Amino acid sequence: MWSDLARMGKEAEGRSIKGLISPERVATFSVDACDMRFDYSKTTMDPAARDHLLAMCDKAGLEDKRRAMFGAEPINETENRAVLHTALRNLDGGAVMLDERDVMPKVLGTLARMEGFARAVREGNFRGEGGTITDVVNIGIGGSDLGPAMATLALAPYHDGPNCHFVSNVDGAHIADVLGPLDPTRTLIIVASKTFTTIETMTNAATAKAWMAERVRDPSAQFAALSTAQDKTSAFGIAETRVFGFEDWVGGRYSMWGPIGLSLLIAIGPEAFRAFLRGAEAMDNHFRAAEPAQNMPVMLALAGIWHNQGCGHATRAVLPYEQRLSRLPAYLQQLEMESNGKRVSMDGKDLAVDSGPVVWGEPGTNGQHAFYQLIHQGTRVVPCEFMVGAEGFEEELPHQHRLLIANCLAQAEALMKGRTLDEAKDLIRDQFKGDELERQARHRVFPGNRPSTMLLYPKLTPETFGKIVALYEHRVFVEGVLLGINSFDQWGVELGKELAKALEPVVSGEQGTDGKDASTATLVEWLQKNGA
Ligand SMILES: O=P(O)(O)OC[C@H]1O[C@](O)(CO)[C@@H](O)[C@@H]1O
């Protein structure tokens, strides 16, 4: 089936996207769901390719695998775990049975505790030694940082709680710059770590504790923890009442819907946080019920598979025309690349095709003045995933939002249409003549026929934001199923961690460089000579 897909991708190389576009195609190559529209008509995918991709979903057993995920089967086989982040937003509370026990009472109980704590912080009933909490610092990395950091920024118009800050990097510059201006007596530190062993997080947490201890008698009283490892949170000195636990069936990069979302909950309050969960729940329900061709996550995934494994485009750009989604590309880098960046399939064999793509991006319109040059005229084709809301929050600046929308749609149009040599010549005919006209015009040619998809939504409310993130989560799941990958482990991050641990005493000079390869040893020596 993969070879047929590759053949179809090859055949599509000469196909004109512009030539495909018709009202009928736009209607049938779009999916409406959850008040959003996903349009994939500006791609080279034709009905035959789509049928083939849908048949691949059947062959891969997508329906059964989806049922297995929601049904709490241990689909994360290499770690023998269920994958139940969807339970964290199952607000209607229908039973989710794992090992014959319903996980929902505990999930909803933890949510209620989080809400109680968030209210206490927001309303000044939980206080620091110096008074009400003015600042919250979330210390975490990867899934324990990217989700809440992205979400807090995305939902800034709803932010009416204390200031929220995020520290992730082990580079001391990060924590120093964040803590520097804060008042320790009025700061709450949240240590977010599923395992509570991650070196970056534990190092930053210790630094924060020492910083607080200089001015606060009982620093632990201004710490909260979000983790699956409650023995470790108590060893760190954090009282149980401020520990919000979750289970190993929530993957780190899928975890912001539960305790890892505490900083967001404190920022926007329980009502908006529930709306965010409800949005994701609506997308879950859609994903579970809609037939594949009308299923937004499935079709977003198939567009991705078409571009990567079908047409051979190794990267995809995510381009939100929404400044507040500026951290979405970074979030998706972890979600997609940590989930599907794998070369061995579930059965332990080499993958038959390329793994998931390189994901990158920036918000528009900023990207337009940076890397769009390559997207329009470079030799590589980069499928672009645009997204934009119909409405912004800045009621006093409607013309700016219209300009934003116009730019978003124009970029997709320009990528599709391009500009021919004759059109380019017409633009500069009065400036150049003869060979010089030809030479100059060639620089102004846009090959066009570059694929893009478009996601439209009404406005970036908490509910819509929840839908968008859940859409991408399920997209990753579907792509993983087609590739035969376990999207829920991340063994590829381990080796670097082990080597860093072993290198630390070498960098500090406690151990020599013997046994290290010549390149690494020389690099260490250079750094030591220069101050390390
Ligand atoms: O929440 P933890 O356990 O500190 O892990 C942080 C991140 O580290 C990783 O394990 C990768 O090293 C991610 O999967 C995870 O989100």
Residues 6+ apart with CB under 8 A from 36: 296, 455, 456, 457, 458, 464, 467, 468, 471
Q: Which two tokens stand for residue 199?
A: 């070196």
Catalytic residue, from 394, 497, 501, 504: name it.
Answer: 497
Q: Ligand 1 centre and the CA of 80: distance in Å?
A: 18
Establish whether residue 144 lines the binding site of ligand 1, counting it when its CB lies within 6 angstroms of any ligand atom. Answer: yes
Nearest CA to ligand 1 atom 7: 142
Establish whether residue 260 lines the binding site of ligand 1, counting it when its CB lies within 6 angstroms of any ligand atom. Answer: no
**CA dist., res. 415 & res. 31, Å (int):** 21
On whether the CB atoms of residues 190 and 138 are closer than 8 A, the answer is yes
Establish whether residue 141 lines the binding site of ligand 1, counting it when its CB lies within 6 angstroms of any ligand atom. Answer: yes
Q: 165: which DSSP letter?
A: E
DSSP H or E segment with residue 464: helix 462-483
Establish whether residue 493 lines the binding site of ligand 1, counting it when its CB lies within 6 angstroms of any ligand atom. Answer: yes
Q: Is residue 369 among the annotated active site residues?
A: yes
Q: Which two tokens stand for residue 95?
A: 């039973």
| Confidence at residue 256, expressed as pLDDT on a 0 to 100 scale | 98
Q: 168: which DSSP letter?
A: -
Q: Which two tokens stand for residue 55?
A: 């048949």
**CA dist., res. 10 & res. 48, Å (int):** 13
| Cα separation values, 372 from 85, 227, 378, 418, Å | 35, 40, 9, 13
Q: Is residue 497 among the annotated active site residues?
A: yes
Q: Ligand 1 centre and the CA of 306: distance in Å?
A: 30
Q: Where are the beta strands (DSSP E) in 229-371?
A: 243-245, 315-321, 358-361
Nearest CA to ligand 1 atom 9: 142
**Helix, strand, or coil here: 159?**
coil
On whether the CB atoms of residues 244 and 225 are closer than 8 A, the answer is yes
228-265, pLDDT tens digit by residue? 999 999 999 999 999 999 999 999 999 999 999 999 99
Establish whether residue 194 lines the binding site of ligand 1, counting it when its CB lies within 6 angstroms of any ligand atom. Answer: yes
On whether the CB atoms of residues 426 and 432 are closer than 8 A, the answer is no
Domain boundaries, the chain: 2-76+290-416+465-486, 87-274, 494-529
Backbone angles phi, psi at 449, to 5 degrees: 55, 35
Nearest CA to ligand 1 atom 14: 252
Q: Which atom of ligand 1 is nearest to the CA of 146?
A: 16
- The CATH number of 2-76+290-416+465-486 is 3.40.50.10490
Task: Give start and end residues of each alpha helix (H) in 13-157.
Answer: 17-20, 23-28, 47-59, 62-70, 104-123, 146-154
| Confidence at residue 271, expressed as pLDDT on a 0 to 100 scale | 98
Establish whether residue 204 lines the binding site of ligand 1, counting it when its CB lies within 6 angstroms of any ligand atom. Answer: no
pLDDT, mean over the chain: 97
Same fold, 2-76+290-416+465-486 and 87-274: yes
DSSP H or E segment with residue 4: helix 2-12
In degrees, rounded to 5, the angle at the alpha carbon of residue 259 between the alpha carbons of residues 289 and 125 is 130
**CA dist., res. 210 & res. 25, Å (int):** 62
CATH class of 87-274: alpha beta
| Confidence at residue 93, expressed as pLDDT on a 0 to 100 scale | 83
| Confidence at residue 309, expressed as pLDDT on a 0 to 100 scale | 98
Q: Where are the beta strands (DSSP E) in 228-375?
A: 243-245, 315-321, 358-361
**CA dist., res. 342 & res. 95, Å (int):** 33
Establish whether residue 490 lines the binding site of ligand 1, counting it when its CB lies within 6 angstroms of any ligand atom. Answer: yes
371-408, pLDDT tens digit by residue? 999 999 999 999 999 999 999 999 999 999 999 999 99
CATH class of 494-529: mainly alpha
Nearest CA to ligand 1 atom 12: 493
Q: Ligand 1 centre and the CA of 181: distance in Å?
A: 28
Q: Show the low-confidence residues of the chain (pLDDT under 70).
A: none
**CA dist., res. 528 & res. 508, Å (int):** 8
